[in-house]
Chains A and B, each alone.
Chain A
Amino acid sequence: MSGKEKESGKEQTLKEIFAQLDEVIEGMEQEDVSLEETFELYHKGMDMLKLCNDKIDKVEKKMLLLDDEGEEHEFET
């Protein structure tokens, strides 16, 4: 399955991105952070959000059927 690495990788990344985003926000909320650092964090955050969006492929999926050989087929309801 070529999808395996890609998909499981995606799951991790999405979750990781959100964790990193939280860190970025936390960093921005620090009082002693400079304006330059704030801008830097902002750009980093925006890049991550873009990554987030890119991670989700927005193609509607039809259910697949797995046969006993492990092959996937279209599922007709």
Chain B
Amino acid sequence: MARNVYSVKQVNAYIKNMFAQDYMLNCIYVKGEVSNLKYHTSGHIYFSLKDESGTIACVMFAGQRGGLSFRMCAGQQVIVLGSVAVYERNGAYQLYAREIRLDGEGVLYERFQKLKQELEDMGMFAPEYKKPVPAFAGRVGIVTAPTGAAVRDIMNIARRRNPYVQLVLYPAQVQGEGAKESIVRGIRLLDRAGVDVIIAGRGGGSIEDLWAFNEEEVARAIFDCETPVISAVGHETDTTIADFVADLRAPTPSAAAELAVYEYGKLAQAIREYQVHMSRMVLQKLELNRMRLMSYETKLKYLHPQNLLRDYRQRAAECEDDLRLLMEGALGEAKHRLSLYVEIMKGLSPLKKLNQGYSYVKAGDGGALKSIRQTKPGDELLVYVTDGVISAAVTDKKEEQRL
């Protein structure tokens, strides 16, 4: 067994040396949540950084306190710059902090929330201040970087929708030092340049990249702008102060172009539709009037005096018929009665009796001979028989007693 045996000191020293020679461990940024925080009376700060996987012990010596500009609290997300080294006394490694700062996103988020609250309290997001975006903008101002996806997207979409719309770009610096001043200047210049609507925005990026659109100066420039402003910052999910204060928020620069630039094709179509609609209305009206005319014509025909005359004529004819019928009836009746009388008369006629051998004798002086006393021999008598008259002379007369 030719094994070497080392002392604790040797091992710890060996490991310490390994750490010390590691380039990365000598200058490393570590981020995590502060816990086990202890401000020691000596001025040193002891704490741990933890994340969901574990913890690492940290110390910031009093001499390094210049690297900490805020009051550290447990639970904060921080980024620590330091070196990882071995503490030989308990054989453990720890992070020797030289600089501690709040994790960027956390800080920015806090600033964002604070400013948002302030501006909201001032009423800068109030709907009554929102200006309507014109439906038919002729000139569209753009505040964004002259290179990059945002301006290209806007140009492409604007050209596709309506190549007759004039785009005016203020080439702004949208991130880094001077970005907010540049954006503010762009908004103000375009406001004076006589555009109908302004798109202010940029393509996607980190929260730091988008930060200029979270600055109060930019928010105020948008709020004070007389021209309606459409905000178009980053992607759908990015929300900036500019979005709240803008008259209209577009999720992306492309969407902003669609909101600002009306589709020429649709306008032309609307014009055509109006034309068709109006022509149809006129034809309809004409047809309606023609129908009305026809109905009047029918009515008029119906009321023509000729019709009235025909009616009267018909009634007159009917009256005539009635009269004739009545007259014929009355005549028939009379004829009937006459024939009846004729029959009766026939029955009563003496001529009939002559048929049976009787005859009618008239004296010469004209009256019917009813008695011998009306005549004397030598008188002439007329004897009527059925077929003629006989003249006779009276030769004798003799009275007879009749029963």
* B contact set with A: CB distance below 8 Å: 134-139, 141, 146, 155, 163-171, 185-186, 189-190, 192-196, 264, 267, 270-271, 274-275, 277-279, 281-282, 285-286, 289
Contacts of A5 in B (CB 8 A): 194
Interface size classification for chain A: 35 or more
Known: A56-B164, A63-B169; 15 extra A-B contacts, CB below 8 A, are A1-B194, A3-B166, A4-B193, A4-B194, A5-B194, A7-B194, A15-B134, A15-B135, A24-B278, A38-B285, A49-B275, A56-B264, A63-B168, A64-B166, A68-B185
Q: Name the residue on B nearest A59 (C-beta).
A: B164
Determine if A65 and B146 form an interchain contact, defined as CB atoms under 8 angstroms apart: yes
A29 CB, nearest partner CB in chain B, Å:
7
Q: List 19 A-B contacts (CB under 8 A).
A: A1-B193, A3-B139, A7-B194, A7-B195, A7-B196, A10-B136, A11-B136, A35-B289, A41-B278, A45-B278, A46-B278, A56-B264, A60-B164, A63-B155, A64-B167, A66-B189, A70-B192, A70-B193, A75-B146
B267 CB, nearest partner CB in chain A, Å:
7
Contacts of B134 in A (CB 8 A): 11, 15
Partner of B169, one of A10, A24, A41, A66: A66
Determine if A14 and B136 form an interchain contact, defined as CB atoms under 8 angstroms apart: yes
CA A8 to CA B271, docked complex, whole Å? 21
A59 CB, nearest partner CB in chain B, Å:
7
Contacts of A75 in B (CB 8 A): 146, 169
CA A38 to CA B203, docked complex, whole Å? 53
B135 CB, nearest partner CB in chain A, Å:
6
CA A56 to CA B278, docked complex, whole Å? 21
Determine if B169 and A61 form an interchain contact, defined as CB atoms under 8 angstroms apart: no
Determine if B190 and A66 form an interchain contact, defined as CB atoms under 8 angstroms apart: yes
CA A20 to CA B91, docked complex, whole Å? 87
Contacts of B155 in A (CB 8 A): 63, 77
Digit string of A1-28 for contact with B (CB within 8 Å is 1, else 0)? Answer: 1011101101100110010010011001
- 9 smallest CB-CB distances across A and B, nearest first, come from A4-B194, A28-B281, A1-B194, A7-B138, A38-B285, A63-B167, A60-B163, A14-B136, A61-B166
B166 CB, nearest partner CB in chain A, Å:
4
Partner of A66, one of B138, B170, B271, B275: B170
Contacts of B190 in A (CB 8 A): 66
Contacts of B163 in A (CB 8 A): 60-61
